[in-house]
Chain A
Amino acid sequence: MVRESEHRDLFPGALEIMILQSLKLKPMHGYALVKHIKQASEDMLQVEEGSLYPALQRMLKEGWLDAESGISTKGRPTRIYRLTEAGRKHLEQEVVSVEKMFAGITRVLAIARA
């Protein structure tokens, strides 16, 4: 899904959360998304194209995204992806559950360390 420095699989839905979170900032086209995630994670995460485009189609089908014709940063015709209201709600839920999961993992690790 996402190429990590350690090549470890992320938990299911991680890619989707990152796409949704990125698009929450502003609507973007595919290439911009890849670059944005790479920069935001300070090069720790690299989105694989082979995962990105199927993921985008899945999210379009779920109704979390809209696609519209637009112009890329370099002035070429492309499709801009935009977060919908349903996507925003889904993101909020996912963020809460991810934070809970992280909190849980942190605690378990803390006990193990002690």
Chain B
Amino acid sequence: MNWLPQIFSRGKRYDDLAVSIQEHLEERMEELMADGMARKQAEQTAHREFGNIALIEQRSREVWHWEKVETLLADLKLVFRRLRKSPGFAVTILLTLAIGIGANTAVFSVVNSVLLKPLPYPDANELTALRLDAPGAGGLSSFSSGLRLSTSMYITFSEHNHSFQSLGIWIPGTANVTGIAQPEQVRLDGISAGVLETLAVPAAVGRWFSDADQDPRGPKSVILNYGYWQRRFGGDRAVIGRSIQVDAQTRTIVGVMPQGFRMVDNDFDLLLPLAIDRHKQKLAGFGFNGIGRLKAGVTLQQADSDLAHLIPVWMDSWSNGPGTNPHYYEIWKISPNFLPLKQQVIGNIGSVLWIVMATVGLVMLIACINVANLLLVRAESRQQEFSIRAALGAGRVRIARELLLESVALGLIGGFFALGVAYAGLRLLVAIGPADLPRLSEISIDARSLFFALLVSAVSGLLFGSVPALKYARSRNALTMSGSSRTSSAGRARQRSRDILVVAQVAMALVLLVSALLMIRTFAALRNVDPGFADATQLETLSIWIPDLLVPDPPAVARAQKQIADNLASIPGVDSVAFAGAVPMDGNDPDWDLITVEGKKYVGGEGPLRLYNYVSPGYFHTMGTRIVAGRDFTWDDLNNVMPAMIVSESFARESWGSAAAAIGKRIKKYDSSPWLEVIGVVEDVHVHGLDEKAPPIVYWPAMFYDRFGREPRMDGLRTVTFVLHSRRTGAQGFLGQIQQAVWSVNPDLPLAGVQTMQQLYSQSMARTSFTLVMLAIAGSMALALGIIGIYGVIAYAVSQRTREIGIRLALGAQKSELKWMFVRSALMLTGIGVVIGISAAALLMQGIKSLLFGISPLDPVTYCAVPLVLATAAACASYLPARRAAGVDPVEALRAD
């Protein structure tokens, strides 16, 4: 390809050509004059014989052109000149497009990063979440994560499976790192052998855990994550071999994982080996996440059936101790239901993201319609030009191409500005997005997003450009040249395409507004749910974990917790303090276990699994949870180990019919344990979020006599969450005082999860409020664009019909009638749009059913309100131009051209 030098040598070529032709003519003239012709005549003859010099030169030059490219460039130059001449038009269109394409690109970047891209591990499609279904296990098997694995299951699976290259289990947790400055609570993941092999990401420095590290009697080791390594050790590579104190245990650093490495979707500071002692394992303890890497060619179904055979093997191989039935778990109906790991990471966020994507796509369509409308008006004013060009022999393809070129150029320029909008929009999205949005850290604008922006720009350019292109390239009738501007009003056909666009716009705006209003009503319905606690903004929570190595004696743990509570209560402005195993909506379920109600017969002999919480006296008072019947625990109950329980209202109703009937009744854990008396009933608490039903809960005292450990003893909880009721939450110095109060009991205790109940409450609504905000933005944009669209169409109709209006007025038409005529046509279009939109919405809203709460996707209030809003908006939008029509001076109107 020597096209580049050709471009530069072109000038010389043209000169050569001119010289050659000039010489040609002169030589011919000289010859003719030699034959005796007069100079003047010879010149004429030579020119006549040669032909059209300019044309021949032109054709000769064209040899050096790329005709297609150069006419395109010429057209493009015209396009830009025209845009410069009407900056208002250009800016309106570019702004609309920049916002539309930008919003689409931003949302697509999120969809791409979260849903489409593979997880950041090698051959990520082989990675599998070892999810088990256990329909008989009650609350232990949640809908989202299924039944987790026990360590004994892991051992059986990893030793006997034929489907996986490697598999392992991991569990997130926290630990105290001491010895370096302030004690720090860090996030850790305990991992079995096989986990790092499965994820297959090599260490950045040092190595993975070895078999020796996983030996319970082997060396104590730890792996750092990149962030922690940078934060604590400044990225020093000599850190390998150094020791740190993790929960008072000295551990040697053997490796550092690379930047961006996450344990599935868990961000951590330290990795510890689980170091499972196989001689001490029981069947139970279902708390571990399982992951595996499939062998090449093995499908998930094959892996499912392979491991399904291992469930009986597992029950045969282990036990829960003497006298227990290892085949008890048969009633749980455990079966593997393995998922691609990515699917588990993404969870149910997919539906929200696709809805948001569809929403912004719809807004983009509405924006395109507005742009198409503007272009139509513009093309209309150029109709004479087109007619002249057609008359001079311009092909319709050429005219259509020019119109399309203009719109695609607009699309692409808009797309360029859209990248700025997308970047800003993405930051906004990430900021307001649900805090638990998976793969949040991976969200970015990458090559695929850029390509998407380009595609949307070009396609939308073609889309809104094709409307005027099809319309104007088609009409070749020369009549339009003289006729159009003198007709008394616009022809029906000319108005029709704009009318169709407005109807489409109204229909789409209606769909968006309906979805936005449904979300607003869902939000309101959630706000009306009594969460089971009160004064969320004045409830400060914090978690404290007291490790074995710090306070070995369980009763001392409880005393330390009581001491901390007392210290916290003495802070000025604190009304009451209590603690519990977990607070509502914090994502923790302290425990689930079997509960038998006295006098009831159960299928299989034992009662169902029930959710537990452990609470200190005063917890319900502090949280604002009403005591419906009976009384709260007292410290005397705890100190004297009274066999007392509190249950939730729904538990009481289910078991004994009413709250009052529950007092004095008895329940127990397992068959062989003693009966416990119900002393109180409290209102239901939506512990799993406002949109989840409040589960029946059994409340144990925070200090209790444990008969089921390896030896019976007084026990308490090592991790508890303190709740403070105070008007000073968030006040300056409040947190410092809390810290002092805790450290005055033990200076090695770090605080974790410091947040108000309001934060937890908002988090539990995060998905709803995120969807709400997105749909509300999209809905209001659609409404605004729709109003502009209606306004534009009516205003244009008025301007086109000025003469007709003038005639009507001259003939005695009433001004109010004239106004009504235009408003009526706007309402007509809106009405058609509303009918179409309602049918579309009724179908489409089935898709967001899962996001709604407390209302039907066919909520009548919504379906009445939105058309009313749209009709009002249409009336207002058309009234302004209609008033202008009524104000027309008939004399002026008829005199004008």
Contacts and interface: CB of A to CB of B under 8 A. Distances in A.
Contacts of A61: 6, 63-64
Contacts of A73: 27
A57 B24 contact: no
Interface stretch (B12-20, B495-503, B580-588, B706-714): B12-20
> Which of B28, B56, B63 neighbours the largest number of chain A CB atoms within 10 Å of its CB?
B63
Interface of A: 29-31, 34, 48-50, 53-54, 56-58, 60-61, 67, 72-74, 76-79
A78 B19 contact: yes
12 contacts: A30-B23, A30-B24, A31-B27, A34-B24, A49-B50, A50-B55, A53-B17, A56-B60, A74-B30, A76-B27, A77-B19, A79-B19
A111 B445 CA distance: 75
Contacts of A34: 24
Contacts of A31: 23-24, 27-28
Interface of B: 6, 13, 16-17, 19-21, 23-24, 26-28, 30, 49-52, 55-57, 59-64
A78 B24 CA distance: 8
Contacts of A78: 19-20, 23-24
A30 B50 CA distance: 12
Contacts of B51: 48-50
A50 B50 CA distance: 7
B21 A53 contact: yes
B10 to A, nearest CB: 11
A26 B20 CA distance: 17
A44 B55 CA distance: 26
B64 A30 contact: no
Contacts of B19: 77-79
Nearest to B16: A79
Nearest to A33: B24
Given A49-B50, A50-B56, A50-B59, A77 B23 contact: yes
A78 B28 CA distance: 14
Contacts of B60: 53-54, 56-57
A109 B57 CA distance: 41
Nearest to B62: A54
Given A49-B49, A50-B55, A67-B20, 9 more contacts: A30-B24, A31-B24, A48-B51, A49-B56, A50-B52, A50-B59, A54-B63, A56-B60, A57-B13
A101 B21 CA distance: 34
Contacts, number: 71
> Which of B21, B27, B30 neighbours the largest number of chain A CB atoms within 10 Å of its CB?
B27
A76 to B, nearest CB: 5
B435 to A, nearest CB: 65
A29 B20 contact: yes
Nearest to A73: B27
Contacts of B16: 67, 79
Contacts of A74: 26-27, 30
Given A31-B28, A57-B13, A74-B27, A79 B20 contact: yes
A106 B28 CA distance: 38
A55 to B, nearest CB: 9
A76 B55 CA distance: 24
Nearest to A63: B2
Contacts of B30: 74
A35 B125 CA distance: 77
B20 A57 contact: no
B23 A76 contact: yes
B13 A60 contact: yes
A56 B63 CA distance: 10
Nearest to A46: B49
Nearest to B27: A31
> Which of B16, B20, B56, B60 neighbours the largest number of chain A CB atoms within 10 Å of its CB?
B20
A63 to B, nearest CB: 9
A1 to B, nearest CB: 13
Contacts of B49: 49
B286 to A, nearest CB: 79
B694 to A, nearest CB: 83
Contacts of B20: 29-30, 53, 56, 67, 78-79
A54 B56 contact: yes
A48 B56 CA distance: 11
A58 B23 contact: no
Contacts of B61: 57
A103 B730 CA distance: 103
* List of 4 A-B pairs having minimum Cβ-Cβ separation, nearest first: A78-B23, A57-B63, A53-B60, A31-B27
A87 to B, nearest CB: 16
Nearest to B6: A61
A50 B643 CA distance: 115
A13 to B, nearest CB: 16
A72 to B, nearest CB: 5
B55 A57 contact: no
A29 B21 CA distance: 10
A76 B21 contact: no
A76 B28 CA distance: 12
Nearest to B58: A54
Nearest to A48: B51
A79 B28 CA distance: 16
A77 B52 CA distance: 22
A58 B59 CA distance: 10
A77 B423 CA distance: 63
Contacts of A50: 51-52, 55-56, 59
A57 B27 contact: no
B537 to A, nearest CB: 80
